[in-house]
Copies of this chain bind each other. A is one copy, B any other.
Amino acid sequence: MHLFYTPDLYPEVKEYTLNEEESRHCTKVLRLTIGDVVFLIDGRGTLYEAKIHSESKRNVGLNIIHVQQEYQKRNHHLNIAVAPTKNIDRIEWFLEKATEIGIDEITPVICERSERKVIKEDRLFKVITSAVKQSQQAYHPVLNPALSLSDFLKKTTAGSKMIAHCIAGEPRKYIQELIRPHGNYLILIGPEGDFSPAEIQLALQNDFKPLTLGNTRLRTETAALAACFEVNYLNR
């Protein structure tokens, strides 16, 4: 199945032209020609079956012959709100891996102990997009604008809200004790150095349930990915 990522394509469209890069890939690498069938995915869950009607190095013209919506629809909704790491590579790595495994939204949250207060959202978005292409995801995860934890806690709504903090001795539960399958989940992951006690209190006052990801010491991006793995596993 030859799949192209085409975020500028919409279900009502009947004809589409691959961009120069994809046209070249289509003709030179895949060696496809007129009459061959390819598939297009728009990152919003629509899969398009298309037939090549014209072909050149720079432009491959397609007729859309079949449209399937809610392709590979996910059976739950996961938003991971995570403090950007001091070393941005680590959060970029998380974005790539979470996209491969399955995530709906990522929300960068700036915390009291965050060493990094600013992120380049366009760059992070590109990391997600390339992971969407590489892992052939039907849905492009949403990257929400970064905001402070206090603003985030005021705004947020979700079925199950959880905060993963590291204060030993405090009562915390595993994800599987806190969620039901096919739910709408929001998991908050803190910065290097954890949330401050005041931040944890504020989250608990806003109906976040305290969460543990196990008894090993995880980096911020590892904890975020562990939560992503566990939620997808529990919704398998």
What residues make up the interface of A, taking CB atoms closer than 8 Å to B? 72, 93, 97, 100-102, 134-137, 174, 214-219, 222, 225-226, 229-230, 232-233, 236
Contacts and interface: CB of A to CB of B under 8 A. Distances in A.
Contacts of A174: 236
Contacts of A226: 101, 229
A217 B100 contact: yes
Nearest to A72: B215
Contacts of A218: 100-101, 135
A44 B63 CA distance: 63
Q: How many copies does the complex hold?
A: 2
B230 A214 contact: no
B135 A101 contact: no
Residue from the set A100, A135, A215 with the largest chain B CB neighbour count within 10 Å = A100
Contact of A100 (B100, B219, B230, B233): B219
18 contacts: A93-B93, A97-B222, A100-B216, A100-B217, A100-B218, A101-B214, A101-B216, A101-B218, A101-B222, A134-B217, A135-B217, A135-B218, A135-B219, A214-B232, A225-B225, A226-B229, A229-B229, A233-B233
Nearest to A93: B93
Given A101-B216, A135-B219, A230-B233, 9 more contacts: A101-B218, A101-B222, A135-B218, A137-B216, A214-B232, A225-B225, A226-B229, A229-B229, A229-B230
A110 to B, nearest CB: 23
Contacts of A93: 93
A215 B226 CA distance: 18
A174 B233 CA distance: 11
A101 B135 CA distance: 24
Contacts of A136: 217
Contacts of A135: 216-219
Contacts of A236: 174, 214
A89 B210 CA distance: 34
A216 B138 CA distance: 10
Nearest to A135: B217
A136 B166 CA distance: 14
A233 B225 CA distance: 13
A18 to B, nearest CB: 21
